[in-house]
Structure 1
Amino acid sequence: MKEVIRNRFLLMCAVVMMLVLSLFSSDIFLPALPDIVRQFGVTPSQGQQMLGHFLLGVALMQLVYGPLSDSLGRKKLLIFGTSLFILATFAIIYAPNFKDLLALRLAQAVGASASIVLGRAIIGDLFSKEEAGKIFLTLFPIVGMSPALAPMIGGQISNLFGWHACFIFAGLFGVVLLFLTLTAVPETLPREKRNPLSAVDVMQGYIALLLSRRFWHYALIPCIAYAVFYAYIAESPFLLLKQGVSNKVIGFTYLSLSLTYVTGNLIARWTMSKGLTLDKALATGYLVFVAGGIVMFLTTHFAPNFYIGSITAISIMTLGNGFLLPLGTSGAVTAVPHNAGSASGLMGAMQIGAAAIIAGIIGPLSGHNPQTFGMIVFVLAIAGFFIFQTTRRLSYRADLNRQLS
């Protein structure tokens, strides 16, 4: 633990990169997606599978990395995953056809998923729920900017050098993370705290989480938030083109999402520093989130070609996500003591799985129609708030019964 304290700054830099890697890599190519679609001769909905395949791989592998890291430790798995990510990312540049490109995206996801699970687990190893919440609120302004900044960066890179350069950039990002992992990240899970590695133990760990109302209460929050965000991320290149935005400037439209997300993080951090509880801060974030869903419905219904309305609506929702994502993550990872790795993996699988599903179906479901898309976002926002309030009451009752027994 002394080594952790001695290298705290570099460790936090590495953790930020771990949390950013998969989110950054999932989105950096999006402004160039119409170019990729044209080069490989596929439909826009098929092109969106590049996002869906990646997210699905990240979701499924988190179920594996979580319990493995609880048994084998964090660092070795992180080195393995980051190395695989680097190899797959550079290989994408040479993909001869779209089928191989999708396969490499899946391999890229298998590697990237290690970093997001282990980054959260490392924080869970070192800090309590409230401390972890404050740390996530410190780190998540940077982390949360990545899905929005990545398309902006990717747009400029692809405009200058072509879509292949987006993946070269992502691969170099992985190289830097691997270097930091080797030099600045210690093993944060001592051998005496590791769980035995067996299918029975893994299943028992997941069953304990699945039976925990507190885990469900917190883990479902990032699921809804990510589903809405990635519905927009997947649809936006085609939605904004239909609304009259030039392909060359689409990347810049994501800047507002970064700014509002960071603003939400800062407000959430300030409210918690004033004594607001985790659940009350989450409730505040959900009210903002729902307000954005209402704006999205109204603007796309009454002014379907008004792109400023769509960008404003999703920006309000990302302001709410500034509360929901870090605080929901903190609550879920610390919900069941001594099971941070499995909790991180299961929550991440649910969270990214929700994003993968919505990214895969949003095109066919909406028909790339702004009004239909706005209705889907509105329904998701209202459903998410209802689920949050319901699980909050159930979790409170379970805690009260446990105290009385």
Structure 2
Amino acid sequence: MPVNLPELNPASLTPIKGVRLGWAESNIKKLNRKDLLVIEIADNSSVSGVFTQNRFCAAPVTLCKKHLAAVKNNQVASIKALVINTGNANAGTGEQGMLDAITTCQHLAENMDIPVESILPFSTGVILEHLPINKILAGLPLAVANLKNNNWADAATTIMTTDVAPKAYSTQVKIGREQVTITGISKGAGMIHPNMATMLGYVATDANITQSLLDEITKEVADLSFNCISVDGDTSTNDSFIVIATGKSNAPAITSREDAGFKEVFNALLETSQYLAKAIIRDGEGATKFITVNVNGALSIEEAKTIGFSIGKSPLVKTAMFASDPNLGRVLAAIGYASRECKSLEDLDTSLLELYFGDTLVAEKGGRAASYKEKVGQAIMNKAEIDITVELHRGNESATIWTCDFSYDYVKINAEYRT
């Protein structure tokens, strides 16, 4: 079961003015399960996205980028719909995969009477298999007919693959006397590692944010949330994070970082995205531990993140966490080889480094801390949530990443993924 992930209460998810969601059961991979989602977006909304950097990126990712570029080039007024299928990634599918993604958009465009270029397609699931396109096309009219503004909880369930639990979050902030709402959903449990992960994330707000500013915000929020998680060190072919701003709130428009409400809305978007990102880790395939790695005192954020991920994706660290084994050497080794991915760490002075489990100093001056007692470390490792802090004492930059352990179930889930 997910590690301390609260059960989703549909009533906690506030609808966003200008957004409706509809789902269908298309039997893409399994019978009688929600697996096709359509999200309708009000005219003239701002929509921004960041995507996987995997060179084998899926056909829908390529098409999303093309359609977002069409908006920027004024070839189409705005993005008006998203379509997401689970059960099949449409990745590694060559020319046919692109044709299937285009066909999906064409049929949805006909059903909704909107331009093809105003639709963003997304797929997630098995790689190197062609879409069951006829099943998807048959499901589109059903999803459109089911469009409602309060379908957020069903939408969170629809986009799941190996997830055990749906992931969604909603919050509100005030700008002056006016209220702004933010609601989001995500999916992901395995093949999770920046940039970005096997994850899909969709966050919407009724705030009025200009397109250029939303583009900046989306990248910054992604870097502080979905680009700070790792389940297994594998980056997928389909990762996408989309932020929608419908402008339907009565709050004043936000056109710059100096405008009233910018800080409040940015922080709410970040809060929502970090909750969704951490929910992915809590629901990591087979996870029994939720681990926070803080790295402080680095010369750069790159240094801090590199060390954090070196610890967070180490199979030896992760299996020790699963066994509740306070094996300090595995963490130190992971810190020590981080220079393979960040050359500035080649002169890391390990004699200055301090390592903490929780609030307990466990290593300093290049070795075990004199004050450290094994039974204290064991008590920390027995917990479901573990904090690891690395103090480098070489600069002023910091980073936090979230990860989980490796259990027997992780191997089982992935060994049986296609069966």
Q: Normalising to structure 1: TM-score of the pair?
A: 0.27
Q: Greater relative contact order (Cα 8 A, min sep 6): structure 1 or 2?
A: 1
Quick check: which one's helix share is greater? 1
